[in-house]
Amino acid sequence: MGEVRRRLAASLLAGLCAVLLGVAVALGTGSEARPGATPAPVSPQTVLPATGSQWVATWTGAATGSEPGTGTGLPGRSVRNVLRVSAGGTGVRVEVSNEYGTRPVTFTDVTVALAAAGGPAATPGTMRRLTFGEGTSVTVPAGGTALSDATTLEVPAGAELLVSLFAPEPSGPVTYHRMAQQTSYLAPGDQAAAESGAAYGETSEHWRYVTAVQVLSRGVEGAVVVLGDSLTDGITSTPGADHRWTDYLAARLREEPDAPRLAVLNQGISGNRLLRDGNPDRTYSGDSGLRRLPSDVLRQPGARVLVVQLGINDIIVPPRQGDPGTIVTGLRLLTERAHASGLRVVGATLTPFAGHPSHSRELERIRQRVNREIRAGGVFDAVADFDAALRDPAQPLRLRPAYDSGDGLHPSDAGYEAMAGALDLSVLGPEGVGRSL
């Protein structure tokens, strides 16, 4: 009962803070440019609603490690990240991370804008310079993160954003998301506030420093957080097309008339396992799903439902987990911990991989045992049967040919769309507890 009261009090406090922040931003606070800087183009401010709104995470990109070759950071260069939000709102906050840095990093210019159609250019009039505690410069300690002050910006649901950062001085290695499946950009000098993308001549396939975007929204009821591996990271989806299965899910939630109004947060890391951290030669595979739960799921504002898509790498990546019961126990523990924080949990069956070089009869036996336990109930609140959605009816241990990217394990764009279609949206809504798919 004490924990319930504590969570209720925290919820009320968070709601009050959201209202106060909305009022403060509506009055124009927190938008001053630093002395001597060229002001970013700013269109007339949109008044944020004072009541009925809440801060909800609309995009996340889990930090996967320190980027190779960036031992002193990216001093004197501007980083422009391109990312697509799931839900829209009238205000924005951005989280920047130095989680895998070894020294503090100081950003003297951080901006957010709506992207123009393709490339690094911003939509005219949408550039906003972000502040951190009323200043435009922020120093993020090694291992730390910083959340910007709120700024007004009309962000349509499904919009593409640019988040740009400039650090003038050397620092430690860059914290990045390795497999973004999205082209981002670099430019010499401080080009963070440039609407034109002309200076951004160098491309990157990573997201750098930015790990979350939040929006102030009246219509969004909360967020679905997906904790997963490369199948959630979408590493075989078409680059730049936003065809991860979570992108298809976000589109369904926006477009289907009876769908709950939820943001979708992709916390997939390629190579991630439920029970073990990344191997020393694959630290970019991240901490185990059990260890990632507090940092990547529970702290996200608006988190209401957790979707778990983990376990296949525990079977196929050495050192392999040969006991299906241990994997199921780990999944149950993840569910219990999420329940303790008030989240509903939907779990996915482990998908076919008979066409992959790692496949063997023994590993298939483990996968089938885990899937039987998941389908029998008692592991999750609801089940998304990705195995049934992707398998070939003629050879059920393999992916359907149209859903196979070519490696026997990872789906094609059509396969990712089928995964999103396998999730009954009703289990994500307020009445979804205890339902199965």
Q: Could you tell me the two tokens for 421? A: 């279609």
In degrees and rounded to multiples of 5, residue 296 shows phi and psi of -95, -15
pLDDT band at 32 (very low <50, low <70, confident <90, very high): very low
* Rounded Cα–Cα distance for residues 148 and 77 (Å): 20
In degrees and rounded to multiples of 5, residue 132 shows phi and psi of -135, 100
Mean pLDDT along residues 38-59: 58
> Tell me: the pLDDT tens digits for 342-364?
999 999 999 999 999 999 999 99
CA neighbours within 13 Å on the CB side: how many for 171?
A: 31
Listed range (32-46, 154-168, 232-246) with the worst mean pLDDT: 32-46
pLDDT for 431 = 61
Listed range (3-7, 23-27, 193-197) with the worst mean pLDDT: 23-27
Listed range (38-52, 165-179, 285-299, 371-385) with the worst mean pLDDT: 38-52
Mean pLDDT along residues 290-303: 97
pLDDT of 19 above 90? no
Closest CA to 146 of 165, 120, 168, 172: 165
Residue, of 29 and 58, whose pLDDT is higher:
58
Question: Percent of the chain at pLDDT above 90?
Answer: 85
pTM of the model: 0.88
Is the dihedral angle over the CA atoms 365, 370, 371, 375 positive or is it negative?
A: positive
pLDDT band at 148 (very low <50, low <70, confident <90, very high): very high
Closest CA to 223 of 254, 261, 270, 186: 261
Closest CA to 209 of 37, 61, 341, 325: 61
pLDDT for 339 = 98
> Tell me: the pLDDT tens digits for 174-221?
999 999 999 999 999 999 999 999 999 999 999 999 999 999 999 899
Contact 330, 274 (CB under 8 A): yes
Q: Which residues contact 376 (CB under 8 A, 6 or more apart)?
A: none
Mean pLDDT along residues 30-56: 45
> Tell me: the pLDDT tens digits for 68-88?
999 999 999 999 999 999 999
Question: Percent of the chain at pLDDT above 70?
Answer: 87
- How far is C-alpha 116 from the geometric centre of its chain's CA atoms? 22
Residue, of 300 and 8, whose pLDDT is higher:
300
pLDDT of 141 above 70? yes
pLDDT band at 432 (very low <50, low <70, confident <90, very high): low
Contact 242, 253 (CB under 8 A): no
pLDDT of 340 above 80? yes
If you count them, how many residues does the chain have?
437
* Rounded Cα–Cα distance for residues 378 and 117 (Å): 46
Closest CA to 428 of 417, 416, 437: 437
* Rounded Cα–Cα distance for residues 432 and 424 (Å): 10
pLDDT band at 424 (very low <50, low <70, confident <90, very high): very high
55, 327, 365 from 375: Cα distances, Å: 35, 14, 15
pLDDT for 52 = 76
Residues pairing with 95 in the sheet: 147, 212
pLDDT of 300 above 90? yes
Torsion of CA 312, 313, 314, 317, to 10 degrees: 140
* Rounded Cα–Cα distance for residues 191 and 77 (Å): 8
pLDDT for 51 = 55
Residue whose entry in the numeric block shows the structure tokens 């002309």: 198
Identity (one letter) of the amino acid at 65? G
* Rounded Cα–Cα distance for residues 387 and 204 (Å): 33
Q: What is the mean pLDDT of the chain?
A: 89
pLDDT band at 245 (very low <50, low <70, confident <90, very high): very high
* Rounded Cα–Cα distance for residues 158 and 318 (Å): 38
pLDDT band at 15 (very low <50, low <70, confident <90, very high): very low
> Tell me: the pLDDT tens digits for 94-133?
999 999 999 999 999 999 999 998 899 999 999 999 999 9
